[in-house]
Structures are given as C-alpha cells and as structure tokens.
Structure 1
Amino acid sequence: MTMYGLRHPLLVRTAAGAALTGLLAGIPAILLIFFWPIDLPTFDDLATPGEPIVIKTLLLATVWTCWALFALAVTVELVGTLRAQRSQVRLPFQRLAAYLITTITVAATAPIAAPRALIPAAAIAATSTEIHDHPATAALDKGEAAKPYVTYVVQSRDTLWTIAEKQLGDPMRYRDIIALNQGRTMNDGRPFTQGEWLQAGCTLHLPADARKPEPTRLRTHTVTSGETLWGISKQHLGKGIQYKKIFKLNKGRPQPGGTRLTDPDVLEPGWRLILPKHGRATQKTKSVHRRTLQRHAAKPTHRTPSSHHSEDPPSFRTSSSPLATETEPSSRDIAPPHPATGTIALRPVLNPASPHPPAEPAPQIPRPAAVATSAEVVMLPQGGMMALSFAAGIAVALAATRLHRRRRLPAPTIDEPVSVLAPEPQSPAVRVLEQAHRNSDPEAAPPDDFELVSSAFEIDPPVTLKAGMRNDDPVHLPLSGLNLALTGSGADDCIRAIILDLLAQADAHRASIIIPIQDAERWFGATITTLTNHLPELHLTATLDEAINHFEEQLVGRRGLLQDYEANDIQQLRQAEPGEPLPALLLATCCPDGHPYLDTLLTMTAHLGLGAVLTGHSPSGTTCELDQNHHVTEATGPMATELDNVTLFHLPPDAATSVLHTLATGNGMPTEHPEQLADLPIPPPSTTPQPVRFTLLGEPAIDVRGTPVDLTRRTKALELFVLLALHPKGLDREEICERLWPDLEETLASYRFHAALKDLRTALRDASTPDDKKAHFIERSGKTYRIEPQHIDVDLWSFHQALAEARTATNAQEKLTALETAASLCLGQLCKGLKYDWLDQDHRWPLTIASIKALLQLGALHEHAGHDERALEIYDQACALDPDMESAARSTIRLLTTLGRTDEARQRARQLKARLNALGVTPSPETQTVLKQLNGPSNPPYRL
C-alpha cells in the first residue's frame, strides 16, 4: 500500500484516517473554538465591503460551505462503498473523498501479517469476482451444451430472487433454481439448503434457458459517394469527433481495388471500414436495449465458438495479427510433433460438400490423452502447447525483425564484395510457430513482412486470456479481475505461457505485465534483465512489495478515473477517453502460501482491467492443481467450473527463452549473429545450348525452347524443382522428403517423392523436342538427385555467377559489367507468390538483400561514371524489389535532389513517409540528413 510515500498498511490506514478525521472534525472544531460566536455584519457594515468584519464573515461562510460539501461527498461515497455501487451523485471534493475512503477500505481490510489459516472465512466469502458480467466470458462451455443447466457464480449481495430476475427474466422462477441445487455440495463444502444464506463465489446451476452473452461481431460500414469519416462517426458512434477511432482502426488496411486509407479526408466509394466495437448510445437507446433484453431474457440462445480479435495478438513488441482474427475455426487439425523432426502436421478434414478427398492425408499418430489437439493449437517440438493466435504474434515479431534489419541496412561501398548471407538460425519452437501461422490459411497468398506488421496494429487492450483447451474447445478467462493461482509440477510452464501470450499483445500500451525480478529469472533465466529495454511493457521490480505497490497505485488511480468520467467499468472509461493509457495490467508472481494483502486488492479489480496470476494458492481466487501434463486435476474457487478438466497452454524453459528473445528483436533489439556466406556452388557452365529455362527470380516460370510449361496443378513437382534449383550439388531422398513432407512417415514420403519426380520429368519431356526426350533433366548419382546443368538453365545460378564475377573483378568496368548482368536477372523476389515454409525462412530474404546491395553498388558505379539517368533506373529497381529498405529510397531522393528534380524527390519522400508511418517508425539518421538537404535554402521546405 502506498500513500504519499507510506508503504506499511498500518501507516497508510492511520494517515488516511487522520486526514479524513481532520477534515471532517478538525475544521469545525477549529472554527467553533476560535471563531464562535460569529459576529454578523450589520447593514451599515455591508455598505462598506472592505470592512474587516465583512471579509471575516465571507471567509467563514466559504469555509463552512466547503466543509459541508466535503462532508456530504464523504456521506455519498460511504453509501456507495457499502452498497458496492458507484454513486451517480457528483459533488465538489468527491474525488478527494473517494480517494481517502478507498485507501482506508483497502488498508482496513488487509491483514498485516496474518498467516493464511487466520484469514477470516467471512472475508473470503464476501469476495465479488463479477466475471460473468463481461461479454467475452461464456456461461456455458461447448462441452456442456448437452447439460440441462448453465452455471452462475454468486456475487456479493445476490439473492435467489435477484438472480432469477436477472438471468431468467422472472423473479418467481427462484423455485427452479432451488430445485436444481437442492442438496448439491457447494464450493465451501456445505450442501445447498433452502433458506440458507448464499455465499459469494459459490457456483449455482440455473435452468438451461438462462441468459447467455451475445457473441462479439465485427461492425463494418461500406462507404458511399460523398460520405466523410466525420459523418460516419456521427452516424455510428454518436459524435463526429470520434472519427479518429475509425481512422486508427482502418489506417493502412487494404481496400477493394488495392488502395489504402492514408488520409482521413480522402474516402472512396466501396471501401469497407471497421467500426469500433461500441458506440456511445443515448440514454433512450440504452433504455430500449434494456427493455429488449428483459423481454428476451427467458428465451434460449445458442453460441457458436468464434475467435476474439482483441485478445489475440500481436505486435511486434506483440501485436495481434488480424490475419488470425474474426474467423471460424479452420477445417484442419494439428497432429502432434513428428517423432524425428519435431514438426507439426496439419491434417485436412473431409468436407462433406467437397467431391474430392484431400490429396495428402497424414497418418494418425497416437497422442497422450491429456493433451488436447485442435485447429487452434500448436504443438511444439520441445513439449509446449500454445494457441494459434500466439503463433500469429510470433510471426509478426519475426516479420518486424526482418523489416528492421532490412530498413536500416547501409548502402555498400563501391569496393565492398556483395554476397548472399545465411539467415540467423531459429530455435525449433519459433520455427514451428511461424510455420503454423503460415499454414493456418492454406488458400491465402503469403503476405509480405510490411503487410503482416502494418495490419497487426491493434488499439483495443486484450479483454480475455486464452488459458487452455478442454477437448477441442478453447477456454477463455477474463483479464479484468483475474485471480488465478497454479500449483503442481506444471505450474511454471503455464505461467510462462500466460505471460508470453499477453506480452505478444503488449504493443501500443495494450497490455502491461509486472513481475518481481527473482520470479522473472526463475521462469525465463537471468538473461531476461537484458531484454527489458526492448520489451517496454514488461516491468521488473526489485521485490514483491514494490510490485504490489505499483499494482495498488493503478487500482486507486483507475477508481478515481472511473469517478471522474462517470464510468461503470474500464471498458466505458476507454470509450469515454481513448487517449488515456489504460492497458490491461497483469501481475505475475510466486506466492506458495498466498499473499493476504494482494488477495484483498484483487477483490476490488473486477471492473478495472487488472488481474494477477501466481504459483501457489489464492485464498479467495481460483486455485488449480496441475499434473506433469499440465492438466487441471483439481480446481477450487469462483472459476473452478470453467477450468475443470482443462489442459492449460504451457511452454518449457528453452522454448520460452527463445520466444522472449524473438519478441525483443521484433522491437528492435540488435543481435550478435556472425555473418556466414550462403552463395550457391555454381556448376560449370554448359558448352551446349540448354533446352529448358527455369526462372526463379520473380514469378517462377519454365519454358522448353520457348514453350511454357505449366506445373500449377502439379504443386509438389514444382516445389521439388525449386528445391533442387536452390541446391545445385543435389540432395539425397531423405533430405528432400524432410523438407517437402516433414509430417509423413518415411515410406509414404518416399512414395510421394517418386510421384513428384515422375510428374516433373513427364512435364518437361512432353514439351521437349524428340532429341530432348531422352534427357532425364533430374539426374541421380548414388542417393543424390540434382538438376542436369547441360539441359536446364537456371537464372538463379546465373545471378550467383554474376555476383562472383563482380567480387573478383580487377577494375570498375569489369565490376560494372558483372553487376549489369545481375541487375538484368533481378525481376522480383525469389519465387514470388509461392508459399513454402523452407523457402521463406532460409532463402527468400537473404537473396533479396544481396540483390538490393548489388543494385545499389551498380547505381553508385553509374553515378561515378556520370550516368545519372541509368543510376536512377537502378535505384528505382531496388526500391521496387524492396520498398522498405531505406538505403534504396535514400539514394533515389539524394540523386533527385542533386539533379534539381525536387518535385520527384518530394514524391519519393512522401512515399517513404507513408510506409514509415504505417510501421510506426522514424527515419534513420542518414535518411534525415538527406531530407534536410531536400529542405535546403534553395528548395521549398518539405517535412516528414
């Protein structure tokens, strides 16, 4: 507890009580002792306002009036506190009164050093969790759909009459509740008996037609001609000034026709705009909605499991990715890791409406009964299990890492040798998570890094937490008011998963996590202290007391804000003041025997966006006993029903450390990875013309003596061709099967390999002339398969050969000729449009970086030679290949400025500004220097 520097609860209680007593009793005592009786001024005195007696009387009247208003405010706050309801009356000094009473209430109910066994049972029974009020919390799990009842957690001051009125629509139906619960053993161990007091936190069975929360749906608006963001905001949100919310939600999102919203003043007909979840309804609208709920409260409703985009994330500090939001569960199932490779297998499920079975069914592999598998789960090779939405957050972090490195890559000097570098190795857990995200939508085209990161920005803080799986259904827990304790052999792994899942969504002040440093090192190792500068929403405190102090300050501050904005909960407050930083706050710590004071604080967080998760026991929260498979074997407390028989998400230490490092690099943390060359071993050039031309740079294309060969229907044949082209020395069959069919058993994978090889050879021979039909095209030497260079010309090999000649050139002209050859081959990114996991992670971006460095070096050579127009063409080619590399855009702007073509330079600067703004980053110092030259005295100013 902290109040102006005081930390001990007894001191805080004394200080707050003394302040309140002094204001209520001290002021009138002083006035009565020193200024009583009051000498009232006469009419003659009033005629002269400057008389001392008049001034004295006015001052006394002012003091007495202020004291009376403060006393009335204290009375109103006391009544509201006793009734557990926010007061609707607004008076002067009410903020001060609310602060003092809140402080006294918290301190007075907190045991100073009482052991867990001495905490009064009445204090625990009076806890109000109120988790059922949140729309994201389901009252009925899918696995319980067949039960003739739903569950309800009793709140403070609940009666059977009020529960029947709120949940069933008819207070007289309290008899139905009695009939369902008569004789049941409640959470406190006593049987339910008619006439006994209801205990807060106990779980009641209600009839199956009890009111259930409505599922969250995404609200959209289609723009028509003449509409503005102001008018749309006024129509849907009640106020035109709220247009900024709509602009933030839709900024940079792809629209029909390929355009994007970048200017709030420019809208095009046909655009689909996402609207904020809730508008500010008028009182009349609220009354109508309330009456509608009352009329339909007794009617049964049906829930369909759906994803909730607000809690999934990621940003690359940890935003959540919209690519995995607001979608129905995929029709693919995820198999356990392969015993040898540790990779996951996506098993297609037969669609009754589809006339064709899936092409490549995966074999059924037995799995432990305690581990749930679903389309929303990713099984990690090191033994972890996480939600698919978490995989989306890791994919965004990896994309942000690549963007950051490419964006700040310096332009090479003229003499610098340009080579293709090997990518930084990834841990198995991170690699599997990225693959799972890419495979989550097999029909969608692979998004580039810019689209993945820019579309992942989310402004709404997460509301719920994906805790685990029951059978094939995800289990969500509300973050606001969360009081969850885990104990058992698997508790630490589950705590890691909860922390990292929230940290992946912590960008843009969406979430904040507090951990005492000793607990953080226990869960993530000593290296976590070096990562905090690049994880701004992760706060490490020296001690548990400091963590609780910070938690309490947030609690008191948010209660004051609710009072100021007349809001009932944190959701209303965020809507009333969107600029106020109110992230979801989670305290994670280790308390083997519980912490009485923290437990008292948690009883007041149900509507404040605060929660806590700990290893140990929680007196008034929910405590779960876990086995070694992270399965809840026993649960007690308010959320026992929700967590019973659930397998919680979990991460082992090594996987958690690698994921944490990935999130930090996504926020710009540099890595010390030694550079390793990855240039291809080019086979000797053929002495005869090659009939087959295989183009990989850009969209892949195959032609045999000018005749195109289409392999779009033979997808594995094309993938095999690409894989062998990237390994000119060849690969053996096992290596090929491991990359192309990692989830299949060896015999079946070998069968698929030979089928793909036959398809590839058949397609090439069918398009060949009679003289070429005898060629194998793919030759075998022992166990190694490779492309025959005498029959197939691969542009990628020619590109690597040109880079090698540029590195060994003895003069500028030789280097210029070699780099021109390389530039003529750079028609786009490697295999543009193809979606191969091994291609993206190991080959595509290293080759793109080498290509742009070669183009920038070639442009610099042309500048030195005075060929400015050719240099501009080369720089434009580099910008088209990767618009996110600042060195390429900077070279173009600099050269245009030097040539006096300021209009074109400003246009390029605007394009650079738009992309940087979409990523939320600032230009590098080198780019800022070039822009200052553009804004020089001889040029009209242009500012980013």
Structure 2
Amino acid sequence: MTMYGLRHPILSKVTAATVLTALLAGIPTVLLAFFWPIDLPTLDDLATPTEPVVIKALLLGIVWTCWTLFAWAVLVELVDTFRVSQSRVRMPFQRLAAYLITTITLAATAPVAATRGAAPAAAVAVMPAPLPDHALMAAEPETGAPTKEYKTYVVKPRDTLWEIARKHLGEPMRYREIVTLNQGRVMDDGQTFTRGDWLRPGWTLRLPADAARLDTEHKAPEQGQAVSRDAERHVHTVASGESLWEIAEKRLGDGRRHKEIFKLNKGRVQPDGARLVDPDVLESGWRLTLPEREQAGRKPALHRPSVPARTDVTARPAAEPMPSAEMPAASAPSNVVVLPRGGMVALSFAAGVAVALAAARLRQRRRVTIRDVDEPVSVLAPEPEAPAVRALERAHRRSYAESDEAPPDDYDLVISSFPTDPPTALKVGTRGEEPVSLALSGLNLALTGPGADDCIRAIVLDLLSQADQHRAEIVIPRQDAERWFGAPILTMTDYLPGLRLAPELNDAIDHLEGQFVTRRRVLRDSEAEDIPELRDAEPDEPLPALLLTACSLEGHSYLDTLMGLASGFDIGALMVGRSAFGTTCEVGEDHQVAEASGALVEKLRDTSLFHLPQESASAVLHKLAVGNGMPAEQPTQEVDLSVPPPGTAERRVRLSIVGEPIVEVDGKMVDISGRTKALELFVLLAVHPKGLEREEICEYLWPDVEETLAGYRFHSALKDLRVALRESTGLRDKEASFVERSGKTYRIEAEHVDVDLWTFHRALADARTAADGEAKTVALEAVAGLCRGRLGQGLRYDWIDQDHRWPLTVASVKALLQLGTLHERAGRNERALEVFDQACALDPDMESAARAAIRLLVELGRTDEARLRVRHLKARLAALGVSASSETRAVLDQIGGRPGRVARN
C-alpha cells in the first residue's frame, strides 16, 4: 500500500504532502489565530485544577508540545533523507514523520490512472509496464558485488520501500538501509536505482541479511550452509521436463503416489515466486517436499498420471513397444495434443472436451424413453464427431495409458470434473517439451500478427472448458466473439457457463471496473491482501478468476492502466493488438513468438503458442455447449450392419463381445489377449461383419503409425490371431483361415466363427418384424440372454466408445424395457422386474429403466425397496448436478404419497 490504502502514486504523494503541511502549518495557525494570547492560570487557579482556565492551558501545552516534537521529528527525517543514512535518534512521532516524507519522496509502482482514452500515445509509451504478481525470488549478485551477506526481493506492483521494510525488516523506518544497499545499482531493465525514484515492478532489491519472510535469499559463498542429508532426502528439485508422475516413480518407487506430492506442495510458493496449483504444470528449479518413501499398510491407489506419455495424434498407443526408429526411448513426455487439420492445444483442454462429450452422452441416455412396445428398436449410428473433437477425446483416453489405468466411464468422468478451485494460470504454449503457463492474475498480454487469432481461440477455449460461474469468467465483446468463433456463439451463451458477451469493449471494461470495486470491498471486509489469500481464508467466497479478451489493434491506454492494478484481484487481460504497459508478442503464421516486448519477454521467447483454426474452434465450442445442456439433434439413422445369416452347422469358434470379450473353442475358453493386437483385430472385424480393407483396419488400430509400418503390424496381428485359433482347433491352414480375404477386404469367416453380436442384431430384427406379442417376447428374450454387459466391457479401444459401445447400450436398454413391459402386461411381474433390473444394471443412468423398476416394485407392494431405489437415483442425479425428468418426478412424487399403484408414464 502507499497512503493508508491509496494505491495511486501521485494521489498518495499529494495526500501525504497535504497532511504534512496541515500538521506543520495548520496546527500553529489555528492555535495562534484562536488561542493567542494564552491566558496563563494564576496560583489561585492552580489550587483548583478543575477551573476552565487551568484545563485550557493544560490542553494548549500538550498540543504545542506534541507539535514541537512532531516538527523536530520531521527535521530529523529530512536531515536523514539528504544524508541517506539512518539516524540513531528516536523520537515521538518520528514514525509518522518518516511515513509522510517517505510517501512524498519515494513513489509507488502503479502507473498514473489516465482518463479513458485521453492519454496521448507518447505519454503512454514511457510509462512503466507492471509485471504479473509474483512472490519473492532470489537474484544472483552482480559482478564485483560485495561478499557481504544480504538477501534479495523482487519488487511487486504497488510496493513501496516503506512497506517492504515493514513486512520484511519489521520496522518501516529501516527503509533507509534498503536505499543504502541499492543506491546507484543498475537494474535488469537498465534503470539506475536512486533515492526518490520510482520502484519498478521486477527490480531485484538487496535487503539486509536479517530480512524475514523471504522464500529465497542470497548469501556470499563463505556464508552458505549445508542442507542436512535428511532434509535433502525429502525435498526434490524439479528438473526440466519432469512430471509429478516421474518424480513419484523415481523418488517414491510408485508413480501413482504423484497426488500425495501434489497435496503436500499445493499452493506453496516456489523459488521463482509461482505456486504449484496445477499438477500438470511444473517449472524447472521448483523444490517439492516429498512424503515418506514407504507407507505401512498403504493400498495402491489408482490415480491418473499428472503428465502422461505422448498423447498427441502422432503418438503411438502406449501398450505397444516402439521401435527406436519412431521415437527415441528417452524422449521426454509431452502434454500437448496436435490436431488434424491444424491446431495444437494443452492436454487439459482435451480433458475438458472429453468431459463435455461424456456429459452430452449421459444427458442423451438419461432421457431415453420407450413410448410403446410396438416401437421398433434398432441400433442408431451416432453423428460423426468433428476430426478435432475426435482427436481430443482420443488424446484424453490415452492419457491414462502410462498408469495402466482404465479410463473412467461417463458418470465417473463427469462427477470428477467439478473442482472448486478457480484456475490461476493460463496454459499458453510450449517451449520445446516444457509447458509455458502465465499467471492469470494481473496478466496483460497482447498478441499481434497473422497467428494471433488462432492463439486467442485456443487459450480462451482452454479456460472456457474449465469455467463456470464459480471458477472462471471470460468477458468478450460480441463483435470479437463472432470474429473468433463465428455467429453461432451468440446463441450459445446460455449454455456456456462462465462466458459473458459484452456489447462493446467499453462495456467489458465497465464490468471489470465493477469487479475492481466489488473485490476491493470484499478484501477490505475480510482483511485479506489479495484474492488468493481470501480464498484460503474463506473457500466458499464465490470470486471466479476473470479474463477480459478483446481486439484493440492500436491498444487501449485506460485498460492498460487498469490492468496495472489487477494483480491482487485475480483479473487478467488477453488482447489482439498492442499493449503499452503489458507484454506484446508478434505471432507468425507458424504460431511461434517472433518478437516480444514487455515484462514477459523471457517467459515467452521462442514459445510455440497453442492455436486452433476457426473450424476446429467452432466444433469444440458447439460440443462444450451441448455438454452443458444445449439441445442437439438425436441420431435417427440405423447402423448399416449386414450380419451373416445363421449357419446350419455348429461353429467351433465363438466370439462373445456383448459384455466382457470371450473367445471359446468347442465350449472352452481360449485366451488370446497376450498376442499383440490379435484380440482387438478380432473384435474390430466382429463389429464390421461386411469386412474392412487393410488401410481402414490400420487407421483404426494404428492411427499414429506410418502406413508401411502399420501394414507390417496388421499382418503380424493377423498371423497371431490365425495361429492362436488353429492351435486351439487343430485345423490346418487349408481347412480354416478364420479371417478370410476377398479382394482388398478382410472379414471374419462366418463358416467357422460365430459372433454373439451378430446373433444380437438378428434377434433385434426378429423383434421388429414379429407378428404378435408372444413372438416379440421370444425374440426379445434372446436379446436379453445375450446382454451380459456393455459392448467389449473392459476393453480400452478408442473406436469402441466413439462409435459402437453406447449406441448398442441404448438399443439394449430399449429392448429390455419393451420385454419387461410385455411380461408385465402378461402378468409375469417377477420376470418383468428381473428384466427392468437388468436394464438398470446395464446403464444405471437411464431414468426410464430406473423409473420402470421403481413403479413395478410399488405395484408389487415392495415399497421399502422402491424407496431405496429412489434414494439411489436421487443421489446419482445429485452427483451429476442435474434434476430428474418430469416423468420421473411424477413417479417419485406418487411414491412419496400413499403406497399403491403408480401411474405408468
């Protein structure tokens, strides 16, 4: 702070000068004008101390004495100021005098607040550029620096020497010692420190050796002290490119303990002043406290790796060994996703899109209904996802490969995506293999050049994918939003929590000003210095991180001035254009930072910024909106699946994939999972009974491998499959191939292999063409007998989830609901309940299945069990943060009333 909470430097100086003048000249002027001459009390008056003349004389004496002492303190301070030394004299009122004189002679760091749009360009160009807020850090001494012990401090916005001395030396009047240590030193920006000069954010000041509350310090070599071996064993210095997973694996012997390290170090200030807030973002040189290597009785926890192995679309599946020709074995892990048709984003962005996809699928399945038993049930083909969206979901799933952990299902993924901590950093790009992140609070970054718009799209969407009204808010003028994301964004605002579209840039700035006022008041009421401190003290305070994004090609002087004060308020700005006080980067067509100026030059030099073309950005934006409840077209087209007709002879090989995959030969199970890709090839051809060409198979199984090498792998997997089946059946090459080739197409040989999925589709077809209810019941019973679980349950193949698993699950539940209804109408209530329960187990998020089971339980008089199901359904919906459908609420309301029959819906 500067002058009792005033953060404007000129205003602080004027206020301090006014107060000093009033005290020195105003007090004697008032006393001489109204109380001169002084009526001295007589001896008789003194005998009665309560006489008014005695009290008046006493008060005037006290006032004159205090004024004299204050004037003398001012004189002493003025002498010390010009001598640049510390006086040994200590007097009453000296601290007040020192504070006022310090405020007048030493300026704060915040720039002068110009009237909006009124500051001339020449004046703006010479004003200091504030850096983003960061904590204390050590600096190396200059060449020829004295060996005397001292500590260092990096100036932050709004710092004054008075406040630095008060906080870190325990005595504000010791600011002169800081002046003495730094007088005449040349700072990193080329400016020379002189008494009375501005303090520039980013300057490294020397402080006396007894300075406290510093995270790092500089000592002369002879003063250094060795760290104990025991301490070193529990502290790890992060090396370039390391992840929490790698550190846990190397230092603790188990990479899955990476979350223990994150929990121990979360929010701790690091040597460079930053804080560990994101497990995916580590900086070289950070020091992390480690837990004990051994934990008695600890059960291994299944955790996702914080920075997985390469997950871009050019990476291999982690389950396969990689030839050295493809990638060096020692290649550092990557946390970026390179998209087809252009684009590069952070892996956290892929996670946000994956959550949106999962939420959209959950919403679609929850509201599935069967209007009548005569409604034909088919497997509907999902609408193909945009290439960028598909690649992002694939990258997210592969991020689990390194830990050998199965990706979570849709329900677990969505409920685990409800963090409460607002994001504190923007992931803006990479330098080599290292991520580059910028603190959001106080950020003032402007991008210009041909690649600027693509970079804005990627950075904004990354934040939007993790934003809601409590975590992050992004303010964009409507015209700029339409420019970057297309006109549809104007209709999606209600389904993009955290996004605020302002009519114009000035309206967006007005919103920022309102937030400054609100947050300043909240901080004052809570007695907190900044928003992070407030969140630590009051976690329930809903203050999201705030980012203004707009286009202002010539810059905006008032916004620049405003952002100079934003570091403590968790507010940042990301612009297309130029910034006078912040950092401006020239971004080339290759999205590389070509030139940069401002405080973040070192951070952004040679950085490849994340970027998205408009087509990919629009597809991702639409998917985020659908994931948040925007209505989307439901699939209506049936899967084009021509299954082979049932054979007359019994087949010796049977492949069951509706549930956990099982390969049987003559009724005995055969394990082929250990043969590389053989089982996946078998399953892939089973869901494509018409067959696929080799190039199509390679695209499914080896999408990231060069065509020739993928071809070799295909033939190797095909050979493994055939050998395994021939060894189990005893058939020779000429008797059975199991996978036959017709022209360029490979398909399962239906003469020797039976697939339960094909039987499933034939049973559904029989149900659709059944002449009466009994015939339909028989066909649907065949379907029920085949539904052992979800398609390929336990398999982690990307293409199953994206194209086949959930469409088949929805069709299965519909068929089971029809079957249960047919049994109920025929009076077979117990069998109907079994079928409804089977549907609930297959997909517990389908309200129609849960509703049918609850209703029938009540009709059977099993009310307590029905209410237990109701509690389970309500808890599951509450975990998702959604409400039940109107049909479900009607059933639940009737159960809450008197027991009895519940109306069908």
CA RMSD of aligned residues (A): 4.1
d(CA) in 2 for partners of 1:878 and 1:670? Answer: 25
> Which residue does the alignment assign to 1:345?
315
Identity of aligned residues (%): 52
Match of 1:918 in 2: 879
Q: 1:111 aligns with which of 110, 115, 121?
A: 115
Match for residue 421 of structure 2 among 453, 460, 467? 460
Aligned-residue offset at 1:579: 3.2
Contact 1:307 1:327 survives alignment (8 Å) = no
Alignment correspondent of 1:440? 399
Q: Judge conservation of contact 1:488–1:625 (CA < 8 Å) in 2.
A: yes
Alignment correspondent of 2:307:
329
Kept in 2, the 8 Å contact 1:420–1:679? The answer is no
**Alignment-mate amino acid for residue 308 of structure 1:** P
CA contact (8 A) 2:591 2:611 kept: yes
1:615 corresponds to which of 556, 564, 576: 576
Assess if the C-alpha contact under 8 Å between 1:383 and 1:652 holds in 2.
Answer: yes
SS state at 1:892 partner: helix
Task: Find the residue that maps to 2:715 and give its secondary structure.
Answer: helix
Gap change, CA 1:889 and 1:687, over 3 Å in 2: same
Write out per-residue CA displacement over residues 463-497 of structure 1, whole angstroms, 9 at most, x where no aligned residue: 11111111211112111111111111111111111
SS at match of 1:474: strand
CA distance in structure 1 between the partners assigned to 2:261 and 2:159 by the alignment: 43
Offset at residue 376 of structure 1 (A) = 0.6
1:132 equivalent among 110, 130, 134? 134
Partner of 1:258: none
TM-score, structure 2 as length reference: 0.72
1:400 aligns with 2:385: no
Alpha-carbon spacing, 1:378–1:770, altered in 2? closer, same or farther (3 Å): closer
Specify the alignment match of 1:361 in structure 2.
Answer: 323
Contact preservation (8 Å) 1:132, 1:139:
no
Q: Which moved more, 1:705-714 or 1:853-862?
A: 705-714
Cα 1:206–1:671, aligned 2, differ >3 Å: closer, same or farther? farther
Task: Look up the equivalent residue of 1:735 and give its one-letter code.
Answer: E
Structure 1: distance between partners of 2:601 and 2:474: 24
Residues 110 and 130 of structure 2 are in contact (CA less than 8 Å); yes or no, is this contact kept in structure 1? no
Query: Contact 2:654/2:665 (CA < 8 Å) preserved in 1?
Result: yes
Specify whether residues 175 and 744 from structure 1 end up closer, same or farther in structure 2 by C-alpha distance, changes over 3 A only.
farther
Distance in 1 (CA, whole Å) between partners of 2:841 and 2:324 is: 40
1:308 to 244, 259, 279: 279
Q: 8 Å contact 2:352–2:466 — kept in the other structure?
A: yes
1: CA distance, partners of 2:432 / 2:850: 52
Q: CA deviation at 1:539?
A: 0.8
Q: Kindly provide the CA deviation profile for residues 251-276 of structure 1, in whole angstroms up to 9, marking residues without a partner as x.
A: xxxxxxxxxxxxxxxxxxxx999989
- Find the aligned partners of 1:865 and 1:623 in 2 and give their Cα distance: 75
**Distance in 2 of aligned mates of 1:272 and 1:938:** 50
Deviations 1:364-390 (A, max 9, x none): 499xxxxx9951111011211111111
CA contact under 8 A between 2:304 and 2:405: conserved in structure 1?
no
Deviation of the 1:891 alpha carbon:
0.5
**CA separation of 1:211/1:762 partners in 2, compared to 1, >3 Å: closer, same or farther?**
farther
Q: Residue 200 in 1 paired to residue 200 in 2?
A: yes
Are residues 1:566 and 2:531 paired? Answer: no
Counting only pairs closer than 5 Å after superposition, residues 244-263 of structure 1 correspond to structure 2 as: none
User: Would the alpha carbon gap of residues 815 and 772 (structure 1) be closer, same or farther in structure 2, given more than 3 Å must change?
Assistant: farther
SS at match of 2:713: helix
Q: Is the 8 A contact 1:132 1:153 kept in 2?
A: no
Distance 1:930 1:746 in 2: 56
Compared with structure 1, are the counterparts of its residues 588 and 739 closer, same or farther at alpha carbon in structure 2 (3 Å cutoff)? same
Matches within 5 A, 1:714-863: 714-769=675-730, 774-863=735-824
Q: 1:160 to 1:193 in 2, by over 3 A?
A: farther
Structure 1 residues 627 and 177, CA, compared in 2 at 3 Å: closer, same or farther? Answer: farther
SS of residue matched to 1:612:
strand
Against the structure 1 CA distance between its residues 593 and 151, is the aligned structure 2 distance closer, same or farther, given a 3 Å change threshold? farther
Q: Does 1:907 align with 2:868?
A: yes
Which of 414, 436, 440 is the equivalent residue of 1:475?
A: 436
1:598 CA displacement:
1.7
Cα separation, 2, equivalents of 1:414 and 1:755: 47
Tell me the CA shift for residue 202 of structure 1. Answer: 4.8
Change (3 A) 1:631 1:204: farther
2:496 is aligned to: 535
AA in 2 matched with 1:556: V
1:161 to 1:913, Cα distance in 2 relative to 1, 3 A: closer
The match for 2:445 among 468, 477, 484 is 484
Letter in 1 for 2:353: I
How far 1:839 sits from its partner (Å)?
Answer: 1.0
Query: Aligned in 2, Cα 1:412/1:833: closer, same or farther, shift over 3 Å?
Result: farther
Does structure 2 conserve the Cα–Cα contact (< 8 Å) formed by 1:430 and 1:659?
yes
Deviation at residue 106 of structure 1 after TM alignment: 11
Question: Which is worse superposed, 639-648 or 841-850?
Answer: 639-648
- State the 1:713 CA deviation: 1.0
Q: CA deviation at 1:604?
A: 1.8
Aligned partner of 1:598: which letter? L
Q: Cα gap change, 1:744/1:617 in structure 2, threshold over 3 Å: closer, same or farther?
A: same
- Spell out, residue by residue over 1:313-344, the C-alpha distance to the aligned partner (whole angstroms, 9 max, x if none): xxxxxxxxxx99984533x3356xxxxxxx43
479 and 365 in structure 1: CA distance in 2 versus 1, 3 angstrom threshold: same
Moved more, 896-905 or 864-873: 896-905
Task: Give the distance between the partners of 2:798 and 2:519, measured in 1 at CA.
Answer: 46
Q: Is the 8 A contact 2:188 2:203 kept in 1?
A: no
Q: Following TM superposition, by how much is the alpha carbon of 1:587 offset from its aligned partner in structure 2, in angstroms?
A: 0.9
Question: Which sections of structure 2, spanning at least 5 residues, go unmatched?
Answer: 1-10, 16-108, 141-150, 218-258, 283-300
Q: Indicate if the aligned counterparts of 1:309 and 1:325 stay in contact, CA closer than 8 A.
A: no
Q: Distance in 2 between matches of 1:166 and 1:386?
A: 41
In structure 2, the CA distance between the partners of 1:567 and 1:184, relative to structure 1 (3 Å rule), is: closer
Could you report, residue by residue, the CA deviation over 1:809-848 in whole angstroms, capped at 9, with x for unpaired residues? 1111111110000000000000101011111100000000
Q: Deviations over 1:544-596 (max 9, x none)?
A: 12111111111101100111111111123224433332111111111111112
SS in 2 for 1:623: strand
The one-character-per-residue Cα deviations of 1:497-526 (angstroms, maximum 9, x if unpaired) are: 121111111135211111110010011011
Structure 1 residues 205 and 650: alpha-carbon distance in aligned structure 2, compared to 1, 3 A threshold: farther
Q: 1:666 to 1:334 in 2, by over 3 A?
A: closer
1:615 match: secondary structure: strand
Question: Does the 8 Å contact 2:858/2:901 carry over to 1?
Answer: no
Give, as a single letter, the amino acid of the residue that structure 1 aligns with 2:310: D
Secondary structure at the counterpart of residue 729 of structure 1? coil
CA distance in 2, matches of 1:471, 1:160: 42
Distance 1:921 1:362, change over 3 A: farther
The count of corresponding residues between Structure 1 and Structure 2 is: 716
Change (3 A) 1:543 1:559: same
**2:555 aligned to which of 587, 591, 594:** 594
CA distance in 1, matches of 2:431, 2:409: 35
Task: Quote the Cα distance in structure 2 between the aligned partners of 1:302 and 1:619.
Answer: 25
| Distance of 1:202 and 1:558 partners within structure 2 | 25
Aligned-partner Cα distance in 1 for 2:796–2:869: 31
What is the rounded CA distance, in whole Å, between the counterparts of 2:112 and 2:197 in structure 1? 25
| Residues in 2 aligned to 1:839 and 1:595: alpha-carbon distance in whole angstroms | 51
How far 1:638 sits from its partner (Å)?
2.2
Superposed displacement of residue 730, structure 1:
1.0
